[in-house]
Amino acid sequence: MSSLILRTATRYIQPILVLFSVFLLLAGHNEPGGGFAGGLVAAAAYTLYAIAYGVEEARRLLYVSPQGLAGAGLLAAAGSGIPSLLYGKPFMTGLWHEGDVPGFGEIAVGTPLLFDVGVYLAVIGVTLSIVLNLAEEE
Amino acid sequence: MSNWLLTLPILIPLVTAATSLVFWRSVRTQRAAAVIGAIALLLAALALAARVDAEGIQVMQAGAWEAPFGISLVADLFSAIMVTIAAAMGLAIVYYSLWSMDRERESFCYYPLLQVLLMGVCGAFLTGDLFNLYVWFEVMLMASFVLLSLGGERPQLEGAIKYVTLNLVSSAVFLSAVGILYGIVGSLNMADLAVKLHGETEPVMATTLAMMFLVAFGIKAAIFPLFFWLPASYHTPPIAVTAIFAGLLTKVGVYALMRVFTLLFTQDVGFTHTVILVLSGFTMVTGVLGAAAQNEFRRILTFHIVSQIGYLIMGLALFTPLALAGSVYYMVHVIIAKTNLFLISGVVHASEGTYELGKLGGLYKRRPYLSLAFMISALALAGIPPLSGFFAKYSLVAAGLDRGSYGIVAAALGVSVLTLFSMTKIWAAAFWAPGPAEPAALGPGGERRIRAMMVPVAALAGASVAMGVGAEYFIGLSLRASAQLLDPNQYIGAVLGRNAL
Amino acid sequence: MLPIVVNVVLGMLGLALVLTCIRLLRGPSMADRVVALDLISTLAVGMICVYAISTDQDVYLRDAIVLAVIAFLGTTAFANYLGKGGQP
Q: Please say if the pLDDT value at position B445 is more than 70.
A: no
**Domain locations in chain B as residue ranges:** 268-469
Q: Do C76 and A17 touch (CB under 8 A)?
A: no
Stronger pLDDT, B162 or B458, i.e. the higher one: B458
Lowest mean pLDDT, pick from B150-159, B305-314, B402-411, C10-19:
B150-159
Q: Do C62 and A41 touch (CB under 8 A)?
A: no
Assign B499 a pLDDT band (cuts: 50, 70, 90). low
* The pLDDT of residue B362: 77
Q: Please say if the pLDDT value at position A103 is more than 70.
A: no
Assign B115 a pLDDT band (cuts: 50, 70, 90). very high
CA angle centred on B91, ends B87 and B95, rounded to 5°:
165
A110 sits in which H/E element: strand A105-110
Lowest mean pLDDT, pick from B7-16, B146-155, B226-235, B439-448:
B439-448
Phi/psi for B62 (5° steps) reads -65, 135
> How many C-beta neighbours within 10 Å does residue B499 have?
6
Assign A1 a pLDDT band (cuts: 50, 70, 90). low
Of C66, C72, C73, the CB nearest to A37: C66
Nearest-angstrom CA–CA distance, B24 and B21: 5
Q: Do A75 and B109 touch (CB under 8 A)?
A: no
Residues of A with Cβ-Cβ distance to B112 under 8 angstroms: 71
List of residues 6+ apart from A22 with CB closer than 8 A: A38, A42
Is 0.90 surpassed by the pTM of this model? no
Stronger pLDDT, B420 or B497, i.e. the higher one: B420
Q: Do C76 and A6 touch (CB under 8 A)?
A: yes
Which residue in chain C has the smallest CA separation from A31? Answer: C59
Mean pLDDT of C47-58: 90
Mean pLDDT of C72-88: 78
Q: Please say if the pLDDT value at position B294 is more than 90.
A: no
Nearest-angstrom CA–CA distance, A46 and A135: 12
> How many C-beta neighbours within 10 Å does residue B473 have?
11
Mean pLDDT of A123-129: 91
* The pLDDT of residue B1: 44
Q: Please say if the pLDDT value at position B349 is more than 90.
A: no
Assign B440 a pLDDT band (cuts: 50, 70, 90). low
pLDDT digits (tens, 9 = 90+) for B41-92: 999 999 999 999 888 888 888 777 777 788 888 999 999 999 999 999 999 9
Lowest mean pLDDT, pick from B191-195, B430-434, B460-464:
B430-434
The closest of B147, B155, B154, B163 to B108, measured between CA atoms, is B147
Q: Please say if the pLDDT value at position B123 is more than 70.
A: yes
* The pLDDT of residue B500: 56
Nearest-angstrom CA–CA distance, B210 and B275: 11
Query: C38 to chain A, minimum CA–CA distance in Å?
Result: 16
Q: Please say if the pLDDT value at position B238 is more than 70.
A: yes
Q: Please say if the pLDDT value at position C42 is more than 90.
A: yes
Q: Please say if the pLDDT value at position B200 is more than 80.
A: no
Mean pLDDT of B172-201: 87
pLDDT digits (tens, 9 = 90+) for A27-79: 877 777 788 889 999 999 999 898 888 888 888 888 888 888 888 998 888 88
Q: Please say if the pLDDT value at position C46 is more than 90.
A: yes
Query: A70 to chain B, minimum CA–CA distance in Å?
Result: 7
Stronger pLDDT, A90 or C35, i.e. the higher one: C35
Nearest-angstrom CA–CA distance, B34 and B37: 5
Beta bridge mates, B189: B129
Nearest-angstrom CA–CA distance, C16 and C21: 9
Lowest mean pLDDT, pick from B127-131, B153-157, B241-245:
B153-157
Assembly ipTM: 0.82
Mean pLDDT of B414-435: 85
Residues of A with Cβ-Cβ distance to B20 under 8 angstroms: 71
